[in-house]
């Protein structure tokens, strides 16, 4: 019997030196006993999530890592965000990944793209309010549906006839820039109508939000109002084979971040909610590990994907201390997965990597490769517990002993693209099972 696979992806894990005088990345500076144990017990390498030199988003990176070519199948991140938030999508619907933001109406400048990471504590009612907004005259049958995602984020789906995702969004992508006007992309016959619809909807949303009591009170208290929703990544649902059909493993996904959960739904992975797992700085990572072990113990799954978001948030916030903190919290979660899964399934495999670099000095995604490690959970558990290790298995182990961007460069897997990840996992899984039999 082939063993289970637990795949831990730490969003924004990769980094560069912490400051100009440092020789360490946050991953090198953090205490990562569990990740180091996996690295010492298995194989390591550097992964370009999509391709070398590309600063990719989480959505395209995950697609590539799961074995779906984003250049062929990607339709924009909006559909992932909306489906992950719990919105249904029918053929022809167009969805957007959205931020509640602040605009200065006198200048049309977006002063804050992310109105407040604590938006969920005070502003979630605005999502229900947006659902009540009616489209202007001239757009019969078009309606919009909004649902809160995490923090300041929400998903919006436009429903109705003659819509297409061949348009641009309204997000300027940086603070202090004007709100963008949606325009058609290509020669799709419905693109001009869809862009016009989006621009009018954006104006209607701004007018309605500006009059809401929550925002009136915030302006009165000299706080930035959530008086705009930025719409980006227009997309329809992707049409691809399911994960199980493609990889012959029964998958579950633990990913409170809506965009990743939405991709999982698009691939018909079972999206499992976990109490306390919020996808932000308030998340309970140990609860994720406990739920994953429970699911593996049920015998219903042989592939589990566990996503960690907070590390990426810290990179975007340029907060070194917080990035170190959540790398170490992720390591504690990984240690629990190693120990628990080794007891459940001696043939199991564990994988840890990131989806892109988010350096704290830069505050956004960059193009460097990310470290990747894979090992038998049994050997990783022995390494973690300081037990005498089994004999070196050349096909399954290299000489790397620490998990970092620098150490992974000398690993046995070399440097490879994200679209090779699932094949590496499946081949390792077969070899690991055979080697475990020989060891015992």
Predicted confidence (pLDDT) at residue 278 exceeds the cutoff of 80: yes
Structure confidence at residue 436 (pLDDT)? 56
Q: Report the pLDDT value the prediction gives residue 392, as an integer from 0 to 100.
A: 62
259 and 344 housed in the same domain: yes
Q: Is the pLDDT of residue 63 over 70?
A: yes
Question: Measuring CA to CA, how many Å separate 15 from each of 31, 277, 360, 370, 397?
Answer: 16, 24, 7, 8, 25
pLDDT of residue 391: 60
Q: What is the CATH number of the domain that holds 394?
A: 3.40.720.10
Q: Encode pLDDT of 139-160 as tens digits.
A: 888 999 998 877 888 889 999 9
Same domain, 19 and 59: yes
Cα–Cα distance, 147 to 84 (Å, whole number):
10
> What is the model's pLDDT at position 207?
95
Q: What is the pLDDT of residue 188?
A: 86
Q: Which domain holds residue 130?
A: 81-235
Query: Which of 235, 262, 282 is the C-terminal boundary of a domain?
Result: 235
Phi, psi for residue 146 in degrees, rounded to 5? -125, 140
The per-residue pLDDT for 90 is: 82
Both 66 and 202 in one domain: the answer is: no
Instruction: Kindly state the percentage of the chain with pLDDT values over 90.
Output: 70
CA–CA separation, 376 and 150 (whole Å): 34
State whether 284 and 419 are in the same domain. Answer: yes
Same domain, 282 and 411: yes
Residues 253, 171, single domain; the answer is: no
Check pLDDT > 60 for residue 439. no
Do 360 and 5 touch, CB atoms closer than 8 A?
no
| Mean pLDDT score of the chain | 91
Contacts of 90 (CB under 8 A, 6+ apart): 159
Residue 272: its pLDDT value, please? 96
Residue whose entry in the numeric block shows the structure tokens 């954006």: 202
Report pLDDT for 227: 96
Chosen domain end from 187, 203, 235: 235
Q: What is the pTM of this model?
A: 0.81
Q: Answer yes or no: do 322 and 423 share one domain.
A: yes
Poorest-pLDDT segment among 103-107, 181-185, 233-237, 352-356: 233-237
Classify strands 349-354 and 5-10 as parallel, antiparallel or unpaired. Answer: parallel
Tally the domains of the chain: 2
Among 49, 46, 43, which Cα is nearest to 412's? Answer: 43
Query: Is 60 exceeded by the pLDDT of residue 38?
Result: yes
What whole-number distance in Å separates Cα of residue 361 and Cα of residue 354?
Answer: 18
Residue 111 is classified by DSSP as E
Q: What is the C-alpha to C-alpha distance for residues 326 and 313, in angstroms, rounded to an integer?
A: 10
Q: Both 223 and 301 in a single domain?
A: no
Which of 198, 215, 235 terminates a domain? The answer is 235
Q: Which of these, 276, 188, 234, lies nearest to 96 by C-alpha position?
A: 234
How far apart are the C-alpha atoms of 97 and 359, rounded to whole Å? 23
Q: Are residues 231 and 250 in the same domain?
A: no
- Calculate mean pLDDT across residues 178-194: 93
pLDDT in tens, 377-407: 999 999 999 886 656 666 789 999 999 999 9
Half-sphere exposure of 409 (CA within 13 A, CB side): 6
Pairing of strands 228-235, 177-178: unpaired
Residues 96 and 180 in one domain: yes
| Same domain? 206 vs 333 | no
**What percentage of residues in the chain have a pLDDT greater than 70?**
96
Give yes or no: residues 222 and 152 share one domain. Answer: yes
For residue 384, the Cα-to-chain-centroid distance in whole angstroms is 27
Mean pLDDT, residues 267-277 taken together: 94
Q: Cα–Cα distance between 29 and 327 in angstroms, integer?
A: 10
The answer to which of 215-229, 358-372, 415-429 has the lowest mean pLDDT is 358-372
How remote is the C-alpha of 54 from its chain's centroid?
Answer: 17
């Amino acid at each position: 019997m082939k063993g289970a696979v637990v795949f831990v992806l730490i969003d924004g894990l990769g980094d560069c030196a912490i400051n100009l005088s440092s020789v360490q990345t946050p991953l090198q500076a953090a205490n990562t006993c569990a990740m180091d144990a996996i690295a010492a017990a298995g194989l390591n390498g550097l992964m370009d999530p999509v391709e070398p030199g590309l600063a990719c988003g989480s959505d395209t990176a995950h697609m590539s890592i799961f074995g779906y070519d984003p250049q062929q199948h990607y339709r924009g991140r909006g559909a992932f965000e909306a489906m992950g938030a719990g919105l249904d999508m029918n053929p022809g619907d167009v969805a957007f990944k959205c931020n509640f933001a602040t605009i200065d109406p006198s200048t049309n400048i977006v002063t804050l793209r992310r109105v407040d990471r604590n938006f969920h504590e005070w502003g979630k009612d605005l999502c229900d309010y947006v659902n009540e907004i009616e489209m202007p005259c001239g757009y019969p049958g078009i309606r919009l549906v909004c649902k809160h995602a995490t923090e300041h984020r929400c998903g919006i789906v436009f429903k109705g006839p003659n819509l297409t995702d061949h348009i641009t969004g309204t997000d300027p992508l940086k603070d202090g820039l004007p709100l963008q006007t949606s325009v058609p992309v290509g020669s799709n016959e419905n693109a001009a109508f869809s862009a016009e619809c989006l621009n009018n909807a954006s104006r209607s949303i701004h007018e309605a939000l500006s009059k809401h009591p929550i925002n009136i009170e915030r302006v009165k208290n000299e706080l930035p109002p959530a008086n705009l929703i930025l719409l980006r990544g227009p997309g329809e649902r992707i049409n691809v084979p399911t994960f199980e059909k493609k990889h012959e493993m029964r998958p579950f996904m633990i990913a409170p971040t809506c965009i990743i959960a939405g991709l999982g739904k698009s691939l018909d992975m079972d999206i499992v909610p976990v109490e306390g797992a919020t996808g932000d700085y308030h998340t309970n990572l140990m609860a994720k590990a406990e739920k994953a072990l429970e699911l593996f113990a049920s015998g219903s799954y042989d592939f589990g994907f566990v996503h960690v978001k907070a590390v990426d948030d810290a990179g975007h916030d340029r907060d070194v201390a917080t990035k170190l903190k959540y790398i170490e919290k992720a390591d504690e979660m990984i240690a629990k997965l190693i120990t628990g899964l080794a007891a459940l399934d001696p043939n199991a495999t564990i994988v840890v990597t990131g989806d892109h670099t988010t350096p704290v000095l830069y505050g956004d995604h960059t193009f460097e490769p990310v470290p990747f490690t894979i090992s038998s959970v049994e050997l990783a558990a022995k390494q973690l517990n300081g037990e005498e290790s089994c004999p070196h298995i050349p096909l399954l182990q290299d000489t790397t002993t620490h998990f970092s961007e620098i150490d992974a460069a000398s690993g046995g897997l070399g440097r490879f693209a994200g679209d090779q990840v699932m094949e590496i996992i499946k081949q390792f899984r077969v070899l690991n099972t055979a080697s475990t039999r020989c060891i015992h």
